[in-house]
């Protein structure tokens, strides 16, 4: 029996939607493929046909997120020439999109530190998503970004540094219990101001040895992830 592409896509989307809802309600670890299939109204075999494991559902969630945020990211980058405002806008897009999944993301962050786990944002499986994300930060620090000046040796690594900064902010935001996560918003504003000041100071010739050490640390970390 041949299944039409449209029907297959509808079924796949329904399974993914049900899975994400169950992850939110009862947690990633407690949710089973059998439970997802039952709630989606499909056979277990059908669920496994579209997604071989729960991890594949998470990867589909990552892909859906990056695609859904494209127009919002474009608006965020086009809305200002200021580096601080651009990065703050990028973070706001992330927070707004992921708000319904804060608890679910908290569970996924348990895998974050292990690059051998494909759910980790540092894994080979998430490399393309990571690189697409870093490309937004590269555009945020483009020559049009106000008066921001970055030393030539740090500039190629800054998008990756900002991506790591983003991951730290998201982790803080996940566990921020203040009303509307106001503490996170204050942290974004204060930390971006500090980053701009730090980048300006880092251009001083006397600080070149420090910049060299930073670049070496980044290269070392990347090498370990690449060979994980």
Average the pLDDT over each of 57-66, 68-77, 134-143 and give the range with the smallest value. Answer: 134-143
Q: What number is the average pLDDT over the span 80-84?
A: 90
Tell me the pLDDT tens digit for each residue of 109-164: 888 878 889 999 989 999 999 999 999 999 998 855 555 778 788 888 899 999 99
Percent over 70 (pLDDT), the chain: 91
Q: What is the pLDDT of residue 223?
A: 62
Domain extents in the chain:
5-56, 69-226
Tell me the pLDDT tens digit for each residue of 11-46: 999 999 999 999 999 989 999 999 999 999 999 999
Query: What rounded mean pLDDT belongs to the chain?
Result: 88
Return the closest-CA partner of residue 110 out of 101, 118, 120, 102: 120
* Helix-helix angle 54-68:127-140, to 10 degrees: 20
Confidence of residue 4 (pLDDT cuts 50, 70, 90): low
149 phi/psi in degrees, rounded to 5? -120, 130
Q: What number is the average pLDDT over the span 188-210?
A: 83
CATH code for residues 69-226: 1.10.357.10
Structure tokens at 86: 């651009």
pTM of the model: 0.85
145 touches 130 (CB < 8 A): no
Percent over 90 (pLDDT), the chain: 63
Q: What number is the average pLDDT over the span 63-89?
A: 94
d(CA 105, CA 83): 27
Q: What is the pLDDT of residue 1?
A: 46
Looking at domain 5-56, what is its CATH homologous superfamily? Homeodomain-like (1.10.10.60)
Confidence of residue 193 (pLDDT cuts 50, 70, 90): very high
Q: Is the pLDDT of residue 208 over 80?
A: no
Comparing 189 with 111, which gets the higher pLDDT?
189
Q: What is the pLDDT of residue 217?
A: 78
Average the pLDDT over each of 41-45, 65-69, 214-218 and give the range with the smallest value. Answer: 214-218
């Amino acid at each position: 029996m041949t299944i039409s592409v449209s029907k297959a896509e509808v079924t796949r989307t329904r399974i993914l939607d049900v899975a994400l809802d169950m992850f939110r309600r009862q947690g990633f670890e407690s949710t089973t493929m059998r439970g997802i299939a039952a709630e989606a109204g499909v056979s277990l075999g059908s669920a496994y046909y579209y997604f071989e494991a729960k991890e594949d559902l998470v990867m589909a969630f990552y892909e859906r997120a990056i695609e859904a945020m494209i127009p919002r990211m474009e608006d965020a980058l086009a809305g200002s020439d200021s580096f601080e405002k651009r990065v703050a806008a990028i973070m706001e897009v992330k927070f707004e999109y992921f708000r319904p999944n804060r608890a679910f993301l908290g569970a996924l962050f348990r895998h974050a530190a292990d690059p051998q786990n494909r759910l980790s944002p540092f894994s080979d499986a998430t490399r393309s998503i990571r690189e697409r994300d870093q490309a937004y930060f590269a555009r945020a620090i483009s020559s049009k970004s106000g008066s921001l000046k970055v030393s030539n040796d740090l500039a190629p690594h800054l998008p990756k540094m900002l991506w790591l900064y983003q991951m730290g902010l998201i982790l803080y935001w996940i566990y921020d219990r203040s009303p509307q996560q106001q503490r996170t918003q204050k942290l974004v504003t204060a930390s971006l101001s500090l980053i701009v000041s730090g980048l300006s100071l880092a251009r001083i010739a006397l600080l070149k040895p420090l910049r060299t050490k930073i670049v070496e640390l980044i290269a070392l970390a990347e090498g370990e992830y690449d060979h994980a």
